[in-house]
Structure 1
Amino acid sequence: MTQTNTTAADDALVLREDRDGIAYLTLNRPNQFNALSEELLDALQANLDAIAEDKSVRVVVLAGNGRAFCAGHDLKQMRTQNERAYFQQLFTRCGQGMTRISSLPQPVIARVHGIATAAGCQLVASCDLAIAEEGSRFAVSGINVGLFCGTPSVPLSRNVGRKQAMEMLLTGGFIPAQQAAAEGLINRAVPLEQLDDEVLKLARTICDKSSASVALGKAMYYKQLEMGVEQAYQFASEAMADNMMFEDVGERIDAFTEKRPPNWRDR
């Protein structure tokens, strides 16, 4: 039986709905193309922090309400300020929200439709996985108003090749979903009518795995990316040795060799 738990009012800046171990977070500023205002960034951070402590959540799906996934920072709100300290604090706050996604124990899947621009593209690049509808488009377009997308360049350059990232950053041009998939920004692009099913299929596949092993593996994966090869191998070896001590691993190996379904606690 599907269990649904809605934890936010329809007028909240981020809507949360839990179904069968999947937490759906929906950015909810549709009239502003889900632009990341200060308030929306705070709401997203609060939801991610709550999910990090929620053992019932195994996968997070991040989506946008309305016609677009996310159009980046709220430029109108930014123009009400003229102090460097404010902008430093704003971009730092945004970066903290993006890194919270990678530090979350649960994998986060971006469900992308419409456009994902500037900090919206940064948000896609910061998610662990991303599936987009075929008509969606991606850009780091700050340069078009004279603002180089410095903070979006951090996760972008860790997803796509250097020259592809620089072309996006220097031109501000859009790339289509199929190109975004080919360059590694998203996992794949699918027809809009298949988007929800494809996201759910991926989420359920992950839900069927050991949540403890997934959390350990996700943390290990991102940490080793910043290491040299020898250090990364040492760190990964230690993580795998720790993983082998998990009680459920023995059960899964036995089930595999005995050709029977596994029986583990956190399923």
Structure 2
Amino acid sequence: MDPYIITKEKDGVLLFTINRPDRRNAINYEVMSGLEKAIDMAAENDVKVFAITGAGDQAFCSGGDLSAFHRLKTEEEAYGMLSRMAGILYKLLVLPKPTIAILNGSAVGGGCEIASACDFRIGREGMKAGFVQGNLAITTGWGGGSILLEKIPQNIAMKMLLDAKIYTAEELRGFGFIHYIYKNHPIDACLSFMKGSLNKESPVLEAYKSLLNKKWELLSMRERMGEEAARCAVLWEDDAHHKKVDEFMNKKK
């Protein structure tokens, strides 16, 4: 089974699906490469909107695949992975097309970071999400913390990051993290939510996105996301993180 699927939907939507439902759509190196490929494809002229979702109805993305990344022990080893994904999410953040995360199921840890990098987020009724990295004795490491602090009110963002809790779809909508809760098919929900944008000419969409991207440039987001990855890498090497991961992995056995 391919770890990701890239499809061109109707009305100019390019869809990237994380296709690892047996791993709760966790991110490994193959998915990282696939997302980078899809982002490059989304820059093509016939694409109006870039969407990201997960396979199945249980999980959007559970963050980094611990079975793939647990072998990373040192700060240097962790930084290689973290900085690469932070770079990919920055490319997603400044993609010259509108972007949307379709949260078809739970989004935790790095899954929330991916969603944060999108312009819009819609969630299936009953889904939950949270920046739970603190429970593993690390911080957000893909740049998602820096992004979150700019996307929703600062006090709410800080509370989400510090508490490392899971929130309901209704709570997330109240925070401004989710913009719409849907009940129907995820692609239909995406098309419905983005309908007003999809009937506009591409140059109009790109012109407005360029205004937003100028903001990210002025806020030095690329540098801030890189620094975030570096800080996480320091914590990654600490015994406290490895102990928490071992405990988590043993619970799953």
Band of TM-score, shorter chain: 0.7 to 0.9
Partner of 2:87: 96
Q: Structure 2: any 5+ residue segments left out of the alignment?
A: 220-253
Three-state SS of the structure 2 residue aligned to 1:157 is: helix
8 A contact 2:113–2:140 mirrored in 1:
no
CA distance, structure 2, for counterparts of residue 74 and residue 195 of structure 1: 24
Does 1:164 pair with 2:156? yes
Q: Given residue 187 of structure 1, which amino acid in structure 2 is its aligned partner?
A: H
Q: Given residue 203 of structure 1, which amino acid in structure 2 is its aligned partner?
A: M
CA distance, structure 1, for counterparts of residue 25 and residue 197 of structure 2: 27
| More off after superposition, 118-127 vs 16-25 | 16-25
5 Å-filtered alignment, 1:48-127, equals 48-52=39-43, 54-66=44-56, 67-127=58-118
CA distance, structure 1, for counterparts of residue 152 and residue 194 of structure 2: 23
| More off after superposition, 113-122 vs 12-21 | 12-21
5 Å-filtered alignment, 1:215-234, equals 215-224=206-215, 227=218
8 A contact 1:140–1:152 mirrored in 2:
no
Partner of 1:197: 188
Q: Structure 1: any 5+ residue segments left out of the alignment?
A: 1-10, 229-267
Does 1:148 pair with 2:139? yes
8 A contact 1:113–1:135 mirrored in 2:
no
| Pairwise CA distance, 1:138 | 1.1
Does 1:176 pair with 2:149? no
Aligned length, in residue pairs:
216
Q: For the pair shown, which has the larger CA radius of gyration, 1 or 2?
A: 1
What's the TM-score, normalizing by structure 2?
A: 0.79
Partner of 1:139: 130
Does 1:12 pair with 2:23? no
Three-state SS of the structure 2 residue aligned to 1:185 is: coil
CA distance, structure 1, for counterparts of residue 169 and residue 125 of structure 2: 6
Three-state SS of the structure 2 residue aligned to 1:73 is: coil
CA distance, structure 1, for counterparts of residue 186 and residue 8 of structure 2: 18
Three-state SS of the structure 2 residue aligned to 1:69 is: strand
Three-state SS of the structure 1 residue aligned to 2:7 is: strand
Higher relative contact order (CA 8 A, sep 6+): 2
Aligned-pair identity in percent equals 25
8 A contact 2:99–2:118 mirrored in 1:
yes
4+ runs of 1 displaced by more than 6 Å?
Answer: none
Does 1:185 pair with 2:157? no
